[in-house]
Every structure is written in structure tokens, then in C-alpha cells.
A and B are shown apart, each in its own frame.
Chain A
Amino acid sequence: MAKPLHDPGVEIDGFRLEEMMHRGGMATLWRVSKPGIDGPMLMKVPRIGEGADPAAIVSFEMELMILPKLNGEHVPRFIAAGDFAHQPYLVMEAIPSVSLVKRLSSLPLPYDEVARLGVKIAEALDDLHRQHVVHLDIKPSNILFRPDGEAVLIDFGLSHHDQLPDLMQEEFRVPFGTAPYMSPEQLRGIRNDPRSDLFALGVLLYFFSTGERPFGESETMRGMRRRLWRDPMPPRALRPDYPPWLQEIVLRCLETEPGRRHPTATQLAFDLSHPADVKLTARSEKLTRDPFTTVMRRRFNTDLTASRRTPLAAQLSSAPIVAVAVDVGEDAAPINAALLEVTARMLATLPQARLACLNILKSNTIALDTTLDAQGHNKKIDRLVRLKAWAAPLKLDERRLTAHVLEASDPAAAILDFVGANSVDHVLIGARQDSFRRRVLGSVSAKVATEAPCSVTIVRVSRPS
């Protein structure tokens, strides 16, 4: 086995140790440099040798397997690795930022800032989940922010990869994680549910918006297990001005049963970025914790969290965000009926999908816009009402349905913006029937189909032949 590393100036496979940045229980972090590789780099060296924690070795092995498989801006870029046969290390991109830990002294933060942070972290989680990984150790010290504001998740030593052997699970059988943030199912040894990360994010949002940790800091198994049945104090009991929409979201994240949380990180991000559209339930108004009978029922219900059998990818794809572009004009009745039919058919197979109904209010690029029409009606409200009326026959739970009137001069660009900003998975859009108008105005559906980063279904009314 290799010797532990101590001294600056030492070189490993051409990487020169410059400065020790951090010394933790499981690993040491060094700033390193190597001729030919630009940009700041970090080397992680696990603590091994006499008296080392076996978990330090296994969690390093997990990171050694997982990090090279990950791509994109929400993770540090993998650069090089050496494994236990020689000198174990992992070199990755250093993110020029401070972790969220620095914010702990200024808690609680303003509500809108908490929501903004939550959106960024949820987007990063969604990206990670789509790459088959559940992080399982989401907490402030593992979240960094790039200069452009995007969140970066670090430290995959406790993570689970859906397509790789889970060495932590096999080797220890006891839960690993950070006590205040660990989900109830993690405490039960379940490591493959992406909604565990949503629970941890819920803890973080609660903490950042109230200044209190929802389940305290107890690190004993007994103390941690209380969260299996005991719900946290509602934030509104701590801060009377706490917005109901934020309490709704945070308490939903903290549900004991994963099935009662948001189905995906994208859906959570969607709620956090559209406060006015969050469906408020009894949760949003709660001022006290659940009654004794509810707590007891949870406590003695042993099958609350059965292990998830479906692969990660299948679970994510069963809960997509579908956007449907609806023209509410008078002559659009036939195409709207066809759109409704296709939408209904699609949602029937996806009980966890959520639907965003879009309508474009064309803003006049020359004259000053007025939100009132000739009769003095508010155009935007009028459109919203019509959108909701269009969707009414779908009989969707309000939590699964939102309506959005986008004001824009270029309808296709507005739809594409919405799709990008909200990580929409699938767009349904009608094709314009009138070939003259299409020729003159250009086809919105064609532009959306060409440029959208997701699947697009073009719906047509079948013409009599």
C-alpha cells in the first residue's frame, strides 16, 4: 500500500502538490499543478494506512468509479486518477468559489434568495440524477457556485450510481451520510432513491429560510430515527411572515414517504421558480406539527418505504414536465380539440407528469403596449382563464397543472425560452392550418421542433382527403 502524502513540492504522476487546502477525516485536498494543463486543479488523497477508516477507502473507490463518468457544468471536471494499486488520488477541476457554508453566519436568508438558491441546486440535482447518480450527501459544504451562478455538486464518496456496483451498500449495511440532512429511507439503508436528495435539499431550504435545522443536529441513531415518524415544526411557527408557497414546497420535500415528495428535482425547481403557481394544500398553513395519532401511525407502519425497484432513468422519465402551446383564438377550436386529445392520451400513461399550458400574448413591437383591450378587459387574465378552461377536461390535480401567458413578439422564441428555463421534457404544439398565414408569418411549430432541446410533438387536424 502507498505511503500517505504530506509535503508540498512532492510530485505524483507529474502533478505537483502546491498547497494543502483541507484536511478531513476521510481525505486531504491539495491544490496541484501540472505543466500542460491549464486552470486550477484539486487533488484528493484518501487517508489510508494504520488506523484509517475502512469507509474512507471504500468511499474513495466509489468516487474513483463515479466522477470520471460524470459530465457537465454541475460537477467538477475529472482530470486524472491513481488507484490503490499504486498511489490513490483523484485530480479534478477546482471550482473558483466558496461553498454554501460561508452563508451559514447570515441565516436566515430572504425568502426569494432561498428560492433562487433552491432552483439552482435542484437543477444541478436533476442533471446528476439524469446521469444515473443519487448524491446522498447534499449539504452546504458539498455545494459550490460557478461565477455564472450555476450550482456545482462535489464529493461523490457516498453516492449511488445506478449502473455501477454500490460498494458502500455491500460493505457496510449501515447508513452513511450527514446526520441533519439524511432522509428517512437512507436511515433504513435504501440508497437508490433520487428523492432522498430532495429531502436533503428540503432540510437545507428549511435551515436557510428559518435559521433552524428541521431535525436538529443529533448524530445518534436514536436521535436520527425520530424523523421516520416525527415531522418538523412548520416554518410558519418559527417565522410568522413565512410565505405559504415556500412552506408548501419545503414541507413537501421533508415528507417521510418519498412518494409524497416532488417526483423529480425538475418539478421541485419548477415550483420554486413559479411561487404564484404552487398549489397550496393544508401543508402551507400548518402552524403545529402533526397530531399524536398521525405520528404513532407512522411509527408503527413498517412498510412506508419499500425499496425502489425501477431504474433511476425510468423513474425520472415517468415524471416529465410536458408543455403544451395552446392558441386560444376563436378559429383554433379544431386544433385545440386535437391537442387536448393528444395531451390526454400522453398524460394517461404518466401519472406523475406535470403539464404547463402556454399561450403567447403577442406584444406590439411598435406601439406602446396596453394590457387592456378595447373593452377594457385585462388581456392576460382573459388568456389565463381561457387556458385553464382548455385544460379543464383533463381533470388534472391542480398540483400537476400550471398556466402561463408569455408576452413576446416572437412566439417561437418565447416557447423555446420557457422550455430552456424550466427543463421541459416534451413540447406539444399545433401546426397552423392556414397555409397562407404560415407562409407569411413562418411556422412557429417548425421553429420550436427544430430548436427545442427536448422532444416535440406536432399535432395536426387530419384533413379530409
Chain B
Amino acid sequence: MLIAIFADIHANRQAFEACLAHARDQGAGGFVLLGDYVGYGADPDWVMSRVMDLAADGAALMLGNHDAAIDGSADQMNLEARIAIEWTRNELGKPARDFLSRLPLKRADHDRLYVHAEASHPEHWTYVVSTLEAANSLSATKAHVTFCGHVHKPALYSLSVTAKMTAFTPTAGAAIPLLAGRRWLAVLGAVGQPRDGNPAAAYALFDTERNELTYCRVPYDIEAAAARIRQQGLPASLADRLFVGR
């Protein structure tokens, strides 16, 4: 089966719609969402209703730090993120807030682990930005592949039988065989706020039969997403950064 995996949608309706359509065109039969549905973007309500529909259809959903901040604390976040969280709290209805508060931090499925951030202490929201955090994350699980988000930059780490770590920046559209002899940590790019210098929305497709992972990039209507952010009075920098993917 082909599973579409999304991370860091961040209330960006245009990016999420484009990725969903792309995944369906590719024949995706399962959906996994790694958290941070809200925050930064201007369409949390629309995004949450789609996310809840997907959950009702059997998609696996994890909790992200922005989602946790809706009913919790946003004190650890930077100013712009806090402003966006406070605005989002007023936008979301009770069903969406209740839904978010019930999401798990991680979930194992077959030999795969889904989590928003580094897996050894998911509640610490540690960014996996090097082989160091990747090794910590892989030591906390026996899963063959761990999928996480949070960093907004795609990367792929592996741990060999000789206990050596490798790091790799994936090329969009190229299927990578995740060899059974080693264990893998796939960090997904962000659907709604890419930060690797490529403004196209990012998600990934995992082929469970072939054990192949493909990082995908999907162009979307950035003008519309940015216009919504400005229209809602959110910080302009949150709109500007979408154009450059930073």
C-alpha cells in the first residue's frame, strides 16, 4: 500500500489541498499526519475539519507542539508563533479543540513509528537536526522506520548494523529503498511552511510493499495562502516567508 505522510500543515489550506490532491493522484491508499495542524497559517478551521474527516476515514494522527499549545502553554514559543496560537485559540470551535486534546504523541504501526519530534522524549519537542538527535530517536524504538516532522526541512537518517549513523538530504521525486538491514529515521518537510529554501509544499509517500520512500514537493497557490494570513491580521512575516521557503 502507498501511504501519504504529512507533517506541519500549519493551517495552510492551499498547501494541504495541493498535497492531498497530489497524493490521491499518486494512488495513496492510507494517510498519516504527524501533527502541527494549526499555528502560523490562517485557515485552522478548514484544515481541522479536513483532518477530522481523514481521521474518521482511518488516518493515523499524532499531536504536534502547536496543537498542544492550543489548550496548553505557548510560553516556549517565539513571539510570532505565540501571536498565531492566541489567534487560533479564538478561531477553533470546541469539537476541534477537543479533538486535538485527545491526539497521541506517537503511534506504532507494523514496523513503523509515527511521532512529531524526536522519539525518545516526544513531549520535549526536540528537533532532529543532526545524527546526534537522530541516534537518540532511533535508540528509543525497535521500529524499522520512524517518521517525524517538526524541523520543516526534509532529511533521512539511517543506522547501520555496525551502529554507524548516516545523514542524507533527499531529492524530490526519487524513490529511496529503505533497506531492511538498517533502521531509518525519515524527517519530513513541512506541508504548510517549508524552511529548506524551496517554497513548494512537502510531504512523503511510503510504499509498504517495496519499502520505498519518496519525498514529494508540490507547488501551490502561495499568493492565496499569504493573502489569507494578511487578511486575518496575523504577522506579515508569516506570509512573506512562504514565498521563499525560509
Contacts and interface: CB of A to CB of B under 8 A. Distances in A.
B181 A170 contact: no
A388 B179 CA distance: 55
Contact of A65 (B170, B171, B179): B179
Interface residues of B, number: 19
B179 A84 contact: yes
Size bin of chain A's contact surface: 20 to 34
B176 A164 contact: yes
Contacts of B204: none
Contacts of A54: 162
B180 A170 contact: no
B167 interface: yes
Nearest to B176: A164
Interface in B164-204: 164-168, 170-171, 174, 176-177, 179-182
B139 interface: no
A165 B180 contact: no
A84 B207 CA distance: 19
B177 A64 contact: yes
Contact of B158 (A84, A165, A311): A165
A167 B162 CA distance: 12
Interface in A311-337: 311
Interface of A: 54, 57-58, 61, 64-65, 68, 83-86, 88, 162-167, 170-171, 311
Nearest to A165: B168
Contacts of B181: 57, 61, 83-85, 88
B162 A64 contact: no
A46 to B, nearest CB: 10
Interface of B: 156, 158, 160-162, 164-168, 170-171, 174, 176-177, 179-182
B158 A162 contact: no
Contact of A68 (B164, B165, B177): B177
B197 to A, nearest CB: 14
B164 A84 contact: no
A171 B160 contact: yes
Contacts of A164: 168, 174, 176-177
Given A170-B165, A171-B160, A163 B179 contact: no
Given A57-B161, A84-B161, A170-B164, A165 B156 contact: yes
A166 B158 CA distance: 11
A61 B182 contact: yes
Contacts of B160: 57-58, 61, 167, 171
